[in-house]
Amino acid sequence: MVHNSVNEFQILYKALTYFRTHWWLFILEITAIYAVALHNFSKSPPVFDSHARILIDSQKRNLYQSLVPGMGSNNLSRKQNLANLLSSAEMLERFQVALSEFYSNEGRPPHLRPYFPGGSALPSERFRSFIDLSYDKNSDVYNINCKAQTGQAAHDLCWVYMNTIEQYYPEIGQRDVMMKRDFLSRQISSFISQIKEREKHIIDFQQSNEEFFNYIVQSVEEKGLQRLRLKRHNLLQKMATNRAVRSLLIEAPRANRGELTARTLSIEALTQRVTDLQYQLELVEASTAPDAKERAENIKLKLLEASEQLARVNEEEVNASLKTPLPAAEVSRKLAGLEIEFRSTKLQLQNLEKQIEDLQVKERKFGQMKLDYERMLAELSQRKKLMTNLYQKEQETEVELSAGSAEIFRLAKPSLPGHRSAPQLTKYMYGALSMSLFVIALTSVLLMAMFPRLDSEAEVHRLNLPVLGKVPLVRRFRTVQDDIPGYGLEHLKIMIYRIVRETKELKCPVVIVSSPHAREGKSTLTHFLSIASQNPDRKTLLIDGDLLTAHPNKFFGFSEDATPGLGSFLQNTNQSTEWKNLILKTEYTGIDFMPRGSRMETVALPHFLKPMEQLLKHLRSEYDMIFIDTPPLFASNLAHQWAGLGDLIILVARIFSTRPKDIQEAIQTCKVFSKAPVGIALNCVRLSSANKRASNYYFSKKKVVPPRLAA
């Protein structure tokens, strides 16, 4: 069997078909929902609203925010925080106390007694549902809305709440800044204690590690390891230079005694003269005498001449020193000085090596301790910096707190309402409408899920069922052939034609009409088929094979005791020769009817219909077509036995009633008990007006008006 996919339109169509057939259920649900809504509306207590407005002037705060950079961006959040504070649990507790005082001072008015059950006020959180506070985003105006069961009670609640705000605002309004200041104070105290603790810890550390701190002091006083190594390198360079100069002096030749004495004296004399002239020049320049300038110029000329003479003598001395060997005394003196310098440098180097070795030992010993000490110093420095920032923030907070004071102005006093604002009937009606739509949708889904059924011909074709024909929906019960509408008769004729086509090899086919369950229209369809099969050349017999009901009797107008019926024949097989006495002539030409007789219980014996095999042989010789109305397949096994005697089985499936699973199981059941072909007859198919007119072509009851002929 082929199953096609189901799209959204098919699901929507199924839901609409349930609306069409189960409208009474939806109307019942809607009526119940609206009845409950109206009942709740009638039982709801009246609600009166009282409104008031206050202005919290914060010009100082705005001025402060305009002067302090970065403080004007949180204006909306400040209003939100202030609104939350003015409606906080603490504020409600204070309102509860103020309302209790007002209730006592006013002589316990009756309209406020619901808020004081047993003489004591309601819990403070219960008043949150009666009082609402909101703010205007574009100004500092705050709106107060109070609800109560009477107008005077709403007015009093709003009045007391406004007084409570005005009384406690200086404390509540600055709560955020005060909390910030307290937080900063706590942080400062905490940091002070931490700094003191760190300093004490450092002092204890210093006292318990004296050797380590000597090492630290030594490192700080430019005696660190790196500095000592650099100094050692310099000493090594100095010693190497000393030895090199000593080697050159030893290898240089010696001059004779008195060889360089004359030039030396000349150089000393000239040097002394230059020194004297420079001293005289300084004195003249500092003098205030009138001829000081002239004397300074003469001294400068003399100084220039002496300098030139000294330069020439020095140049001669240099040239002579390059050619003349050093004197032996000078060489000895210089060698002695170099030797003394070398030995002293060597002693310094030995002391320096010892210091470096000691520092290396201490560095290995106190490396980790030095890191810990530096970490403690860094933490102490960081906390001192944070401490400075906290002091600055605290000062800013104090300035903000002094600038945050505001005044409260009453823009509108609490109103005294004369008409209630709730409950509103439209609110309950809209709520009932929403609930009705939800319940209708839920009911539709449950019906489609729990009670699936055949909704249209498209559904039958989608399930690939063998459709033999369809019967349009007839609005009222038809008793005679002429009352059957033309479009219905046409579809019945088409079904008769298909029956004849399926059984063309048989002279008198036996057609079994059944259905999965009761009340699906099998007796009505059998009646209609017998009427539609009427033909001058055809005789039709309708047998009431359902031994429980008597619908065919009513259709033809016969009583149940008109003949003994089929039941007596099945119970007394000796009367098989008198079967003609069991058949009645109907008002329709060529159509006979065999009733069931008296009512019989359903029989479950396997061979209960065995006598019908011989009877059907006689009936086939007398009639051209036999229809047998049988009980439902799932109600009695009598239908199974009838299916084994038929040449064609018609299963009636009623639109909007038969379940797809039931009709499929019925087809499989018929194939088990019979080899005859099985077809589906769709009952109660709704036709549109256009389809009715199209199906009314041959069997229309309208009189044909002859056209007028031309004169």
Quote the pLDDT of residue 511.
Answer: 92
Nearest to 353 by CA among 239, 243, 244, 246: 239
Report yes or no on 20 lying in a domain. Answer: yes
Q: Are residues 274 and 138 in the same domain?
A: no
pLDDT digits (tens, 9 = 90+) for 370-385: 777 778 888 888 888 8
Angle in degrees, 0-180, between the axes of helices 425-450 and 23-43, rounded to the nearest 10: 150
Specify if 708 maps to a domain. Answer: no
Integer Cα distance of 493 and 500 in angstroms: 11
Are both 31 and 77 inside the same structural domain? no
Task: Please tell me whether residue 650 adopts helix, strand or coil conformation.
Answer: strand
Residues 31 and 76 in one domain: no
pTM for the model stands at 0.48
Q: Chunked in runs of 10, what are the mean pLDDT values of the chain (711 residues)?
A: 52 75 88 92 88 76 50 66 84 91 90 89 90 87 90 92 83 68 85 85 77 65 63 81 76 57 70 81 78 82 83 71 64 80 85 77 71 81 86 76 65 85 84 91 84 74 81 62 70 86 88 88 85 86 78 70 76 63 84 79 69 86 90 84 89 85 88 87 78 65 52 41
Is residue 157 within 8 Å of residue 98, measured between CB atoms?
Answer: no
Co-location of 673 and 527 in the same domain: yes
Check if the beta carbon of residue 674 is closer than 8 Å to that of residue 633: no
Is residue 31 in some structural domain? Answer: yes
Same domain, 31 and 149: no
357 and 287 inside one domain: yes
Paired sense of beta strands 48-57 and 141-148, if any = antiparallel
Residues 464 and 446 in one domain: no
Domain containing 17 equals 8-39+431-450
Distance CA 145, CA 51 (A): 5
Q: How many domains does the chain have?
A: 4
DSSP letter for 507, please.
Answer: S
Say if 190 falls within a structural domain. Answer: no
- Answer for the pair 342, 239: CB distance below 8 angstroms, yes or no: yes
Distance CA 490, CA 496 (A): 10
Residue written as token pair 């603490």: 90
Could you tell me if 625 and 511 are in contact, meaning their C-beta atoms sit under 8 angstroms apart?
A: yes
Instruction: Give the CATH number of the domain where residue 86 resides.
Output: 3.30.70
**Alpha carbons 425 and 38: distance in angstroms, whole number:** 8
Q: What is the pLDDT of residues 501-548, one digit of tens each?
A: 888 888 899 999 998 888 888 888 888 888 888 888 889 998 888 877
Phi and psi at residue 403, in whole multiples of 5°? -90, -5
Specify the DSSP class assigned to residue 131.
E
- Name every residue whose Cβ is closer than 8 Å to that of residue 468 and which is 6 or more positions away in sequence: 495, 498, 499, 502, 650, 679, 680, 681
Note whether residue 419 is domain-resident: no
pLDDT of residue 274: 81
Distance CA 482, CA 487 (A): 12
For residues 468 and 568, state if they share a domain.
Answer: yes
How big is the chain, counted in residues? 711
Q: How far is CA 304 from the centre of its chain?
A: 100
- CATH code (residue 559): 3.40.50.300
- Within 198-284, strands assigned E span 254-255
| Residue 555, pLDDT score | 75
**Tokens representing residue 680 in the block:** 């589906």
* d(C-alpha 572, C-alpha 130), whole Å: 88
> Same structural domain for residues 677 and 541?
yes
Residues 655, 650: Cα–Cα separation, whole Å? 15
Last residue of a domain, one of 346, 372, 398: 372
Tell me: cis bond preceding 423? Omega within 30 of 0 counts. Answer: yes
Residue 390 lies in a domain: no
Helical pair 367-403 and 175-208, crossing angle rounded to 10 deg: 160
Residue 180 in any domain: the answer is no
Shared domain check, 461 and 444: no
685 shares its domain with 545: yes
**Does residue 707 lie within any of the structural domains?**
no
130 and 163 together in one domain: yes
Per-residue burial over 294-319, b if 16 or more Cβ lie within 10 Å, else e, is: ebbeebeeebeebeeebeebeeebee
